[in-house]
Amino acid sequence: FITVKELYRNQEEYIGKTVKVAGWIRTSRGSKNFGFVELNDGSFFKNMQIILADDKLDNFKEISKLPISSSILVEGEVVSTEGAKQPIEIHATNIVVEGESDSSYPLQKKRHTLEYLRTIAHLRPRSNTFSAVFRVRSLAAYAIHKFFQERNFVYAHSPIITGSDCEGAGEMFRLTTMDLNNIPKTEEGNIDYSKDFFGKEANLTVSGQLNAEIMALAFRNVYTFGPTFRAENSFTQRHASEFWMIEPEIAFGDLEDDMELAEDLIKYIINYVMENAPEEMEFFNSFIDKGLFDRLNNVVNSEFKRITYTEAVELLQNSGHEFEYPVNWGDDLQTEHERYITEQVFNAPVFVTDYPKDIKAFYMRMNEDGKTVRAMDLLVPGVGEIVGGSQREEREDVLLERIKELGLNEEDYWWYLELRKFGTATHSGFGLGFERIIMYMTGMSNIRDVIPFPRTPRNAEF
């Protein structure tokens, strides 16, 4: 079978020729001895129009009555249809039915809400919207690998099962091999966690960063790209329990280099997807977010803004805007603050740097002031934070002091500290939330609609 994409892309080669395609009926209409089928074969966002004629098809009656979503194998001639909605169509000479669909198929022609489509995750990839989203997702993943491989970054595989809590936020899913009907207890009557994971505490990773640091201090430039997990019981449009993260780590690079890398990466992904999924992107721009192309063009053609956390706080305090949460130096920026900065003040992506140490993770490099750390968050209009990163604390004594100050267990970090003993180096990295960049590029506003099988609290069907 030839793909519909190939037929569209290289039309001239196929006009007048007989080809075979296989796919699912999206729509079907016709009269007594003539019919039109819109066939989607999954290879392309657009359908192929199939012409059914009673005098050319033995089983014309059977085919013209097939319900939507039936799968068929079509043989026919490619005909040019200049001036019509689609440039080519196939005049069928032979059609075989593989699977006649039941007429109860839920994706009939009318528009469905995204909420409803979430309840049929086994069928929604066949809808226009999800066909576009998941293909963009696939292309974006490829673009990310291409970007890093072209720059000689080593793709490092970080583990999914780990004993460490990279972010120190206690948002881990614990793994256990305990018999839950007979939970082992210590002498004091507490749960004996030494029975976790065959006798060792373990959880699903929240970030591959610490492993990426190990690899960067051997390979210089590395990246991870894999699933990460957060046990936050939050029901926002931007948080999932399972999400994919891209985490580059660069040795001999500081926060400036880190931000430059993040900016280049994001521009590269957008350019790649715009170029390689023009039909899908056109669909998003027309039906999901009318300002999408303007925004993306603006992003790829301009420089991202940079301000410090302290400047951001002053800017918010002097904005005259009434916020639900007050802005005080030392507090984390709330979503409304982030949105104000990126949407109202700059209307562009903004790096906010040098956050107070107390609201950031233990591994970030301490600034001279002793109060802030070399952190950066990238905020974008519509989505908010899509990147979180930092320069890492490379000084063994400063790091150890920080670990103690935060009440972390020094022994748990023996290997992390040793990296600072055996040829320490300036190094930096960041995490890009894969779903967040897909949201940003497509205009889809709920994280549940940019990953095929979303995992959010109490949602693990399919």
Whether 4 and 21 have beta carbons less than 8 Å apart is answered as yes
Q: Could you tell which of Mg ion, ligand 4AD, none binds residue 245, using a CB distance below 5 to 8 A set by kind?
A: ligand 4AD
Q: Rank residues 74 and 375 by Cβ distance to Mg ion and give the closer one.
A: 375
Q: Rank residues 375 and 444 by Cβ distance to Mg ion and give the closer one.
A: 375
Give the shortest CB-178-to-ligand 4AD separation in angstroms: 26
Give the shortest CB-250-to-Mg ion separation in angstroms: 19
Question: Which is it for the CA torsion 6, 8, 14, 19, positive or negative?
Answer: positive
On the CB side of 262, CA atoms within 13 Å amount to: 36
Give the shortest CB-375-to-ligand 4AD separation in angstroms: 9
| Integer Cα distance of 125 and 420 in angstroms | 47
Q: Rank residues 131 and 164 by Cβ distance to ligand 4AD and give the closer one.
A: 164
Total of chain residues touching Mg ion, rule CB under 5 A: 1
Q: Could you tell which of ligand 4AD, Mg ion, none binds residue 429, using a CB distance below 5 to 8 A set by kind?
A: ligand 4AD
Q: Could you tell which of Mg ion, ligand 4AD, none binds residue 436, using a CB distance below 5 to 8 A set by kind?
A: ligand 4AD
Q: Which residues make up the interface to ligand 4AD (CB under 6 A)?
A: 166-167, 207, 209, 230, 232, 239-240, 243, 245, 247, 385-390, 429-431, 433, 435-436, 447
When asked if residue 384 is in the footprint of Mg ion (CB under 5 A), the reply is no
Give the shortest CB-22-to-Mg ion separation in angstroms: 45
Task: Scan for tokens 């507490």, then name that residue.
Answer: 190
Angle between helices 255-276 and 434-442 (to 10 degrees): 50
Report the residue count for the chain: 462
Q: Which of 399, 391, 395, 406 is nearest to 354 (CA)?
A: 391
Q: Rank residues 133 and 375 by Cβ distance to Mg ion and give the closer one.
A: 375
Give the shortest CB-121-to-ligand 4AD separation in angstroms: 18
Q: Rank residues 184 and 452 by Cβ distance to ligand 4AD and give the closer one.
A: 452
| Integer Cα distance of 162 and 181 in angstroms | 25
Q: Rank residues 22 and 376 by Cβ distance to ligand 4AD and give the closer one.
A: 376
Beta strand residue intervals within 219-313, DSSP E: 221-229, 242-251, 305-308
* Geometric angle at alpha carbon 255, from 404 and 245, rounded to 5°: 80
Give the shortest CB-18-to-ligand 4AD separation in angstroms: 49
Q: Could you tell which of ligand 4AD, Mg ion, none binds residue 386, using a CB distance below 5 to 8 A set by kind?
A: ligand 4AD
Q: Rank residues 51 and 364 by Cβ distance to ligand 4AD and give the closer one.
A: 364
Q: Rank residues 140 and 206 by Cβ distance to Mg ion and give the closer one.
A: 206
Q: Could you tell which of Mg ion, ligand 4AD, none binds residue 207, using a CB distance below 5 to 8 A set by kind?
A: ligand 4AD
| Integer Cα distance of 373 and 101 in angstroms | 59
Whether 87 and 71 have beta carbons less than 8 Å apart is answered as no
DSSP bridge partners of 25: 39
DSSP 83-150: TSSSSEEEEEEEEEEEEPPPTT-S--SS---HHHHHTTTTTGGGSHHHHHHHHHHHHHHHHHHHHHHH
Whether 257 and 128 have beta carbons less than 8 Å apart is answered as no
Give the shortest CB-176-to-ligand 4AD separation in angstroms: 22
On the CB side of 190, CA atoms within 13 Å amount to: 4
When asked if residue 443 is in the footprint of Mg ion (CB under 5 A), the reply is no
Q: Which residues within the stretch 239-298 sit at the binding site for Mg ion (CB under 5 A)?
A: none
DSSP bridge partners of 161: 204
Q: Rank residues 420 and 448 by Cβ distance to ligand 4AD and give the closer one.
A: 448
Give the shortest CB-387-to-Mg ion separation in angstroms: 8
When asked if residue 388 is in the footprint of Mg ion (CB under 5 A), the reply is yes
Q: Could you tell which of ligand 4AD, Mg ion, none binds residue 381, using a CB distance below 5 to 8 A set by kind?
A: none
DSSP bridge partners of 174: 203
Give the shortest CB-291-to-Mg ion separation in angstroms: 26
Torsion angle of C-alpha atoms 286, 291, 292, 298, degrees rounded to 10? 150
Q: Rank residues 116 and 325 by Cβ distance to Mg ion and give the closer one.
A: 325
On the CB side of 135, CA atoms within 13 Å amount to: 24
Phi (first) and psi of residue 389, to 5 degrees: -155, 180
Give the shortest CB-406-to-ligand 4AD separation in angstroms: 16
Q: Could you tell which of ligand 4AD, Mg ion, none binds residue 209, using a CB distance below 5 to 8 A set by kind?
A: ligand 4AD
Which residue has its beta carbon closest to Mg ion?
A: 388
Q: Which of 246, 249, 267, 269 is nearest to 432 (CA)?
A: 246
| Integer Cα distance of 346 and 381 in angstroms | 9
Q: Rank residues 261 and 447 by Cβ distance to ligand 4AD and give the closer one.
A: 447
Task: Scan for tokens 């491989």, then name that residue.
Answer: 149
Query: Applying CB under 5 A, which part among 28-36, 346-354, 380-388, 413-421 lies near Mg ion?
Result: 380-388
Give the shortest CB-3-to-ligand 4AD separation in angstroms: 33
| Residues at the contact surface with Mg ion, assessed by CB under 5 A | 388
